[in-house]
Structures are given as C-alpha cells and as structure tokens.
Amino acid sequence: MTATVHVDTYASAAPKANSRNGIRPLVAGAGITFLIAWIVGLSVWPTNLSVRASGAQIIDALTGHTTAATVQFLTSQGLAGLALAVVLTTVVRPARITGAAAVAVSLTQCALGVHLAGWVAPEGNAAAAATFYGLIDRLDGVKMLLLAATAALVSIPMLRNRNLMLRNRTRSLIVPGLGLLLAAAITVSGIGYLLLNTTLAPAAYVSGVLLLIWVPALALTTRR
C-alpha cells in the first residue's frame, strides 16, 4: 500500500521534473479558486433555506434574487466543482474516482440550480420549485458522502507514508488530519441532506468550513 501511494502521488523521476513544476502552480491556483468561488457564492446570496423548505418559501427567497442565486450556483457548484477536479488530479487513484463522482454531482446541481432560479421560480410553480430544491439538496447529500470518502482515501495513505512524514510535516500531519475531521463531519451533514433531516443537515456549517480549509491546503502543499 505504501509503495503504491508513493508511486501514484509523488513521482520522483528526473525527466518529469518540468512537468511537476508546471502542474503545481495550476493545482495551487485551483485550490485558491475553489475557496474564492465559494466565498463569492455565499456572499452574493446568503439565504440559507431549510432542507424542509416549502415551495412557497423557496419561491419567496428567489423572487427578486434570480441573478444572485444564479451566480451562487455557477460559482459554488460550477466553478468550485471544476476547481476541485483540478486539485484532485494529484491524489491517489481511488480518491480521484470518488472525487470525480463528487464533481459530476456538483455540476449537475449547478445546472439544476440555474434552471430553478432562472425558470422554475419566476413561473411561481411552488410544487416544481419544491421538487427541484429537494433534488438539489439530496444531491448535496450524495456529494458530501463522496467527498467524505475522498478525504479519507487521501488522508489515510498520507498518514501511512513514512517517507512523506520525514519530508514534509505540514503535508503529512496537518492536511490528512484536517481531511479525517472533514470526512467525519461531512458524513453527518451528508446524511442530513440526503434524508432532508433538519437535525443532521446543520452539521454542514462545520463540514463546509473544514472543506474550504482542506481543499486549498491540499492544493498548496502538493508535490506534483
């Protein structure tokens, strides 16, 4: 296991040096982009409806805020999803698979959210709004669980990699430590969103902050 992680994650052959030097700035930039995209998305439309919000409540929240809501979905689900995809190109293969699935879900949420804000809500169809919003929230739960798996699959091999432990203490301890905390917290919030459970869903306040710290930290400490 350790040998595989070393080969997949930290290529050391001299001929690849230029490639690594080219990839690192891109990955670091993607990590920062992920953070900025979420900050922008949360800033332009700070409304946070309950996972059990009614269709009328959803339409009321979106009325007069079509542009802001659209920007939020495009940044927090669209741009952030694409940035995450770039960051996860540096991790071990199992984490890339679950991460790619999470990105696909995020882009699906983006499309559904833009349609909800730009077409469904303006028509005033409460039933359709509730259906779309509920689907987006449940997909959020699926995405969170995929991100939990991704964080664990990245973090556990890092903690087991003795060579990494000797070379880079920040990457070998802090990043995987945050990753395991994220995996635990986002599992709780993911179940909450998947089941539209108002007791568990608020854990997203914790898991969201951890995610916004972990992804840039992973990107900025990558060695590829």
Residue 7 falls within a domain, yes or no? no
Residue 199 falls within a domain, yes or no? yes
Pick from 9-18, 39-48, 100-109, 195-204: least confident: 9-18
Residue 10 falls within a domain, yes or no? no
Q: Indicate the number of domains in the chain.
A: 1
Residue 2 falls within a domain, yes or no? no
Residue 1 falls within a domain, yes or no? no
Report the distance separating Cα 58 and Cα 3, nearest Å. 51
**What is the pTM for the complete model shown?**
0.87
What is the domain extent for residue 180? Answer: 15-220
Q: Scan for tokens 């039933």, then name that residue.
A: 127
Question: Would you state the pLDDT for residue 173?
Answer: 80
Tell me the CA distances in angstroms from 18 to 10, 91, 171, 224, one per residue in order.
14, 19, 22, 10
Residue 74 falls within a domain, yes or no? yes
pLDDT tens digit string along 135-164?
999 999 999 999 999 999 999 998 887 665
Mean pLDDT on 196-208: 98
